[in-house]
Amino acid sequence: MNKSRPVYAPFKLDPSGAAHLIVTSLAAPPAGLDDTLSEVEVWTVARTGPGIPVPMVGAQRPFRSRTELLAQLEHRLGRAAIGLRLYAIGSEAFIWDAANIAVAAGMGHGEIFTHQAGPRLRRVYCTHCRTMIEDVAVNIAPCPACDAVLSVRDHFSRRLAAFMGVKVDAEVPGEIPAPEEFAT
């Protein structure tokens, strides 16, 4: 087992929290959320189009993009009271971006809960030029900045919220294996 890969527990609210903020890159809040709880805020990334309902639960606030949601999260956590619990739900890149914002705002690791959900796409960090590549679905991917063909390692950096990408043909130039989709 790769020790750098986070392990995610099933979603549930922490009963010791005085207030709960759920941020999700998905269009809807998690299943099983009790809509009678008054101290629950749910922030979602709104999706438009048919067949994508956004049910209202507690105090729900839709955002146009992940970027907008994360920017507002930084402001919200800057004025948070003690007892707030943060739940980040979505892709690994999104949940660790949110967790890193929470840590920078002074929240402890016991107040932050991460839950991976949705497509298993990866953010990849090119170790050669430091470019972040979003939504990678296969283990061999080109870097758009330096043109290196990267092998996406199974090493996840929580600080960068990304998997490491290293030049796949560093030892034998031109020898590039066929890409494979990531296992779920």
Are 22 and 43 in contact by the 8 Å Cβ rule? The answer is yes
What pLDDT does 4 receive? 74
What is the pTM for the complete model shown?
0.82
| 138-160: average pLDDT | 94
CA 15-46-74 angle, to 5 degrees, is 60
Are 141 and 164 in contact by the 8 Å Cβ rule? The answer is no
What pLDDT does 49 receive? 41
Closest alpha carbon to 44 in 68, 64, 27: 27
Q: What is the pLDDT of residues 3-38, one digit of tens each?
A: 778 888 888 899 999 999 999 988 766 666 655 555
Q: Which contacts (CB < 8 Å, 24+ apart) does range 172-177 have? A: 176/140, 176/149, 177/140
Scanning the structure block, which residue is given the tokens 């009271």?
Answer: 81
- Can you give the residue ranges of every domain in the chain? 19-116, 122-167
- Rounded to the nearest integer, the mean pLDDT of the chain is 86
What pLDDT does 59 receive? 73
Are 141 and 173 in contact by the 8 Å Cβ rule? The answer is no
CA 154 to chain CA centroid, Å, is 16
Judged against a pLDDT cut of 80, whether residue 149 lies above it is answered with yes
155 Cβ partners below 8 Å, 6+ apart?
Answer: 2, 4, 163, 164
What pLDDT does 35 receive? 53
Judged against a pLDDT cut of 60, whether residue 1 lies above it is answered with no
Judged against a pLDDT cut of 50, whether residue 170 lies above it is answered with yes
How far is the CA of 103 from the CAs of 38, 71, 132, 162, in angstroms? 25, 14, 21, 17
